Amino acid sequence: MLLLSRVLPLYKIFLVSATSLLPFTTSTQTVLSPPPDHDPYAPNVDSARANSNIIFNAIHSAARQWGSSVHHNGVSVFTVTVPEGTLLYHGDAYAKVPDIPEWLAFEVEHGEFFARKPMFAPRTSGNVQAVASQDVLIPEYSGPPKFEPGYLHIYQANRPLRLLYFDGMSAATASHLGPTDMQEYMFLNQTWNFDSDGGIMAYGAALCKKGAEWGVEGFVRMEAGFEIVKCDFSDGLDLISQKLRPNHTTPESQGEGWIFEWLRAMALRYNGIDGSRIIVDFSSMIHAGFYPTNLTNPKPEYSHFPRLVSADPAQVARIRSDLKDMWLKGNSQPSVDWQGVVDMIEKRFSDRLQYLATKPQHEAFLWEINTLLNTFIDYTSISLEESIEACASHYLRPVKVSTEQDKLIYAAVEAVTTKICTTLFQVREDLLAQHNADGPESVDTSKSVELIHGLTSWLDWTEWRMCRPSCSYDQVCYITVCPFGNTDLHYNPRCLNSSEVAELMHTDDEYWFED
């Protein structure tokens, strides 16, 4: 049970004036200096609290397409399991089972995208480096695509596959935005240079070479859909079928329509991969924000996206060491469903915070505040501090921590709920004071709205970026996902139909890759 003494220091931090309510914002990552008698590179509760909003969002978005697209620079790694019996899809120019590290998709349409001969040079175990320089993710063309058909392979896991999952848009390799920092600094000891180090095939081979030292058989990443980099197709997979795809000149071919269908399939996973096809061990989470890591983005225009390029190499080495220990030791205890915990918190407050930010009349404002807070107030003897503690700890009371990561996640989630509850009680106190002093007609909600706006900006919950109202059946709510899209669609997602998606493929405004 959360003790009052643990939450009161947080309460005192957050109960401040409107102008100083946000000690850390979405545009600045806090770097702490631990006391000298501590390991300066160790994970610690203070760092977890300082980075609590990005840790909270990482948990909420893990293995979910939407949130991982909004906050695409993930700095977390999780152990995940793909259960025995799971079907996976691989598109290739050839029917042969790959004998080098290759990719598997969770969705049919994602695999279909790669079942085309022009997309790849011949691949063999002996020419990975040669292939690397020739890799092209999307062939350049003008007019309708002219592909020779390839093969769609279907595989089934014949045992549970234990994998490492890099969060965010971690398959956006070669992007100048830095969504692959975590895997590159953890496994490649550098930021990968596609000109000198090789292309996507060399990248996958390098991941697997390093992973083999740890006994890692594959990696889960995300682009326009989730994928597995499987290091050895002969281990853990049964080939179910490999079928030749239709020629692009036949009526069976969908032409440019296949990109829209791929995105439509991707959108079905905005809230997670259905069918329990991937199980995330949240208690294994390694997040760079657990540590006193400098997560500053060197490009001011992207300051809201954390990066590792400014981190102390010794700090990176410590995170890598802890990640290796986590993987090798495993977790014998049941994982805490941290995503379920943060889901309950977000669903409780999300819509009401958005409504309060619209500056409703003070009666409606106070009604919503009381709805959220009355549960935590004992009206026989009102104590603001005890009420905030009850509010902040409510969804954490059932949690039983078992790992060091659990303790850090607990601290981060507690910091988020404390900030939410402190802000709401501050709004309540201000509105009631005005109401009781001068009557309802004189209540000014401007300060309250300012506090709510500050809170929502800091929380930066991904649900608030969803298309409103919902899209029609022939549209997809589209946010920029690698390798498609432009800057506007990242910050302003909207409903697109197949024609609009096709048009998007031919625009010059590129978000992911610099010219």
Determine the pLDDT at residue 141: 37
Q: Whole-prediction pTM value?
A: 0.88
Determine the pLDDT at residue 332: 79
Determine the pLDDT at residue 256: 67
Stronger pLDDT, 209 or 441, i.e. the higher one: 209
The phi and psi torsions of 58 (rounded to 5 degrees) equal -65, -40
Return the closest-CA partner of residue 25 out of 515, 456, 363, 497.
456
User: Tens of pLDDT along 36-60?
Assistant: 557 899 999 999 999 999 999 999 9
Mean pLDDT of 352-378: 95
Q: How many CB atoms lie within 10 A of CB 506?
A: 9
Asked whether 411 and 49 are in contact (CB, 8 A), the reply is yes
User: Tens of pLDDT along 68-114?
Assistant: 999 999 999 999 999 999 999 999 999 999 999 999 999 999 999 89
Stronger pLDDT, 332 or 400, i.e. the higher one: 400
The model's confidence at residue 21, banded by pLDDT at 50, 70 and 90, is very low
Determine the pLDDT at residue 129: 38
Domain ranges of the chain: 4-61+335-464, 80-138+148-277
β-pairing verdict for 87-92 and 218-223: unpaired
Determine the pLDDT at residue 209: 95
The model's confidence at residue 127, banded by pLDDT at 50, 70 and 90, is very low
* Residue 27 half-sphere exposure toward CB, CA atoms < 13 A: 7
Q: Helix or strand or coil: residue 422?
A: helix
User: Dihedral angle at the C-alpha atoms of 118, 121, 122, 123, nearest 10 degrees?
Assistant: -120
Determine the pLDDT at residue 195: 75
The model's confidence at residue 312, banded by pLDDT at 50, 70 and 90, is very high
pLDDT higher than threshold 60 for residue 143: no
What's the mean pLDDT when you consider all of the chain?
87
